[in-house]
Structure 1
Amino acid sequence: MKKIALLAVSAASIAMFSGCAGMFSGETQMLTVKSNPEGANVMVNGMTIGQTPLTAPIVKKKDLLLTLSKDGYKEVTTPLNTSFDPMALVGLFSYGTPITTDIQKGTAYQISPNYYQFDMQKAEK
C-alpha cells in the first residue's frame, strides 16, 4: 500500500512541476539558417552552433539573438521572434498545473519563424 501511495505522489509531483509545454513540445525547437554565401558562422546568444546551411535544435527562451559572421562580410545580428506557445495552457486547463515552470524554463515560448535566410554584404576595405 505504501508503494502505491508513493507512486501516486511521485506521478502527481512530476505532472505538477514539469510543465505541460515542455512535456508536449519539448525544451528545444529546430531552427534552420541559410546564408548567401554559405559557410557563415551561426551564433545564438553568443554561442556558436555551426555554419550555414544549418538546421539545429535551439533551446527555447524568450530572448534569443541570432548572429552570422564570415570573414570579408559584414556581421548580421537579429533577434529571433518568439511568441507564447499555447501548449503551455494545456496543463493549466487539463491538470491544473501552473505554467510558471514553462515560463521559467522557456518552454512556454516558440520561435517563429523557424527558418531564416540572409544575403550577407561584403565588408568595406
Structure 2
Amino acid sequence: MKIFLTTACLAATLTMTGCASIFSGSTQTLTFKSVPDTANITITNKSGEKIHTSSTPATVTLKRGNGYFKPAGYEITFSKEGFQTKTVQVKATVNGWYIANIIFGGLIGFLIVDPATGAMYTLSPSDINSVLDPAQLSTTKNKGYQSLTVMLVQDISVDIMKRAKYITTL
C-alpha cells in the first residue's frame, strides 16, 4: 500500500505542476538604463494602456502573459528634454522551461498551468539600454534670419562630410 501511495503522490506531483511556473514564474524583472541618465520612461501594454512611468535607471516587474496562451508585449518610450524620443519594443517568446513540460511537467503543466499563468513566455530584451540622440535645432531661414547650428562631427551624415571643407584648427 505504501508503494502505491508513494507512486500516486509522485505521479500527481509530476502531472499537476508546470516547469516554467516553478522555475520562471509569471512575472519578469526588467532593467532600464539610458544615456543620459534620468530620462523619463513610459511603459504601455498591447492595449495601449500606460502601466508604468518613472525615470532611468529603473527596475520594473512586468507580467509575462496577457491571458491564456496570449503573450505579453510592451512598448517602452524614453524621453528627455533636449533629446529625441526613442521607443523600444519588448516582446514575449516561448520559455525553454515550458518545453520541459513534455518530460517533467505533464499535460497539466503543458496545457493549463503555464499558459494560464503566462510563465510559458520570456520577455526579451530583459535589459534595455537606450542612447538618446540630441534634438535637432530648428533653423529660422523661413523668417529671413541667418542662423548657426553647432554639431558634433559624428552627428553629420557621410554625404555632407564629403562636401565639407577644412577651414582651420585652433
- What TM-score do you get using the length of structure 2 for normalisation? 0.55
The 5-angstrom pairing of residues 46-57 of structure 1 reads 46-57=50-61
Structure 2: distance between partners of 1:123 and 1:103 = 43
Match of 1:24 in 2: 23
Deviations 1:20-51 (A, max 9, x none): 31222111222111111111222222322421
Percent of aligned pairs sharing the same letter: 29
- Structure 2 match to 1:4: none
**Counterpart of 2:98 in structure 1: which amino acid?**
A
Whole-Å separation in 2 of the counterparts to 1:98 and 1:112: 23
- Pair 1:72–1:54, CA change in 2 (3 A): same
CA RMSD of aligned residues (A): 2.8
Partner of 2:42: 43
User: How many angstroms apart in 1 are the aligned matches of 2:102 and 2:54?
Assistant: 37
Aligned to 1:116: 128
User: Of 91, 95, 98, which residue of structure 2 is paired with 1:85?
Assistant: 95
Instruction: Give the C-alpha shift of residue 92 in structure 1.
Output: 3.5
State the TM-score, normalized to the length of structure 1.
0.70
Higher relative contact order, structure no. (Cα contacts within 8 Å, ≥ 6 residues apart)? 1
Q: What is the number of residues matched between the two proteins?
A: 115
2:123 aligned partner, one-letter code = I
1:40-79 deviation digits (Å, cap 9, x = unpaired): 2222223224211122322223322222222333221121
Q: Is there any run of 5+ residues in structure 2 with no aligned partner, and where?
A: 1-7, 45-49, 66-70, 139-170
Larger Rg, first or second structure (1 or 2):
2
Q: Which has the higher strand share?
A: 1
